[in-house]
């Protein structure tokens, strides 16, 4: 299983603009057949710091998500309000 932490940094004055876009992105992504988990959190110390915690079966499923209609439509609308570039960590579970 592939896990992902994606972090967005939104300008303070744009938080209310991006919230409905995030909500649609989460709702549509969770309907993807290959989506295992797609949770969106907000940093308690920074209301413009949004953190996705994702789980996918493999890289192909993540790539399909990133090519989906909802992703390619909504993410540029969100990114227009960034104050700095998003970051991404692709992770494996701890080896046992």
- Residues binding a copy of itself (CB under 8 A): 3, 5, 19, 22-23, 26, 39-45, 49-51, 53, 89-96
Q: Which structure tokens are listed for 29?
A: 């992504």
Nearest distance in Å: CB 43, a copy of itself: 6
In the complex, the smallest distance separating the C-beta of residue 46 from a copy of itself, rounded to whole angstroms, is: 9
Run of H or E including 41 = strand 37-43
Pairing state between β 2-10 and 37-43: unpaired
Task: Compute the distance between CA of residue 3 and CA of residue 6 in angstroms, rounded to an integer.
Answer: 10
With respect to a copy of itself, which residue has the nearer C-beta, 11 or 49? 49
Q: Which is closer to a copy of itself, CB of 77 or CB of 91?
A: 91
> Minimum CB separation from a copy of itself for residue 59, in Å?
10
Name 70's Cβ contacts closer than 8 Å, sequence gap at least 6. 24, 25, 28, 29
């Amino acid at each position: 299983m592939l896990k992902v932490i994606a972090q967005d940094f939104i300008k303070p004055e744009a938080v209310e603009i991006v919230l409905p876009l995030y909500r649609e992105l989460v709702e549509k992504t969770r309907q993807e057949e290959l989506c295992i988990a797609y949770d969106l959190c907000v940093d308690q110390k920074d209301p413009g710091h949004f953190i996705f915690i994702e789980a996918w079966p493999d890289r192909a499923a993540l790539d399909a998500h990133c090519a989906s209609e909802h992703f390619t439509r909504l993410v540029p609308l969100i990114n227009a309000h960034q104050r700095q570039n998003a970051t991404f960590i692709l992770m494996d579970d701890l080896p046992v």
